[in-house]
Amino acid sequence: MTLQGSLDGISLSGYVEGWAYDTRAPLRPLPVCVIDSQRRVVARGLAGGYRKELAYEGHAAGWCGVRLKLSVNPLELAWKRMTLVEAGSRRRIVRHDCVPYLVSDPVRQDGIEGLIAEDPTVIGSLDQLRACDELFKAFIKARGAEAFVRAAYRYVLGRPADRGGRTSGIEHLRSGSLSPFGLIQTLGDSDEYRSNPRQLCAPVMAAFPFRVE
């Protein structure tokens, strides 16, 4: 089975929470629908938000979260049967006979920080890339260590790698003294990045520079 997912619960504020992805392309946002016991589509959208616990559990590097606005009153749905399907094909991902209420909604931040946290197109912190080392290793295998270093500098610092940084980065990667994520994290810890932080593209976006699909 290539589709995996879960429906975790329904919040009183009118959202259904869960996760979903296609194991053949885990970092490609998956269009999904939620269907209730009356065969109504009660929510639709993309599975592609970041959740740290999913990264720890090995699901799509954490980038497969679902938080969809319900089109009906949540009181109609809790503790009822609901099915999560792929939106286009309507292939079933998972069916739960009794979807519970969430005890509480996840804490949402106000202001710019909150908007970034809700935006699946950008990362909130470099730590959200920690589980992406397999993706980075695939990039290096396909294009080489130098190409990875060049892409990392462009991605994190927004500039070409200088000669010393490029040479040092390649040596660290080839010797194993830094993992690919470790190199990105090192650039993120630099005074240059800290003095001029940038919004960085999320792994689920086609523009993410380390994709090799």
* Domain architecture of the chain: domains with CATH: 3-102 (2.60.40.10), 110-213 (no CATH)
For residues 123 and 12, what is the distance between their CA atoms, to the nearest angstrom? 27
- pLDDT > 70 in the chain, percent: 92
Beta strand extents in 11-96 (DSSP E only): 15-22, 30-36, 41-47, 49-50, 63-69, 82-86, 92-96
Is the pLDDT confidence value at 70 over 90? yes
Q: pLDDT of 88-129, one tens digit each? A: 999 999 999 999 887 666 555 454 444 445 577 899 999 999
Taking each helix axis from N to C end, the angle separating 180-188 and 133-143, rounded to the nearest 10 degrees, works out to 110
41-47 β-sheet, strand order:
41-47, 30-36, 82-86, 92-96
Residue-level pLDDT at 107? 53
Residue-level pLDDT at 12? 87
Residue-level pLDDT at 1? 64
Angle (nearest 5°) at CA 92 between 86 and 96 = 115
Is the pLDDT confidence value at 200 over 90? yes
Residue-level pLDDT at 103? 60
Q: Report pTM.
A: 0.86
Is the pLDDT confidence value at 171 over 50? yes
Q: What average pLDDT does range 155-159 have in this prediction?
A: 97
Residue-level pLDDT at 170? 97
Angle (nearest 5°) at CA 31 between 29 and 34 = 130
Is the pLDDT confidence value at 20 over 60? yes
Q: How many CB atoms lie within 10 A of CB 76?
A: 14
Taking each helix axis from N to C end, the angle separating 145-157 and 133-143, rounded to the nearest 10 degrees, works out to 130
Residue-level pLDDT at 115? 43
Q: Which amino acid is at 140?
A: I
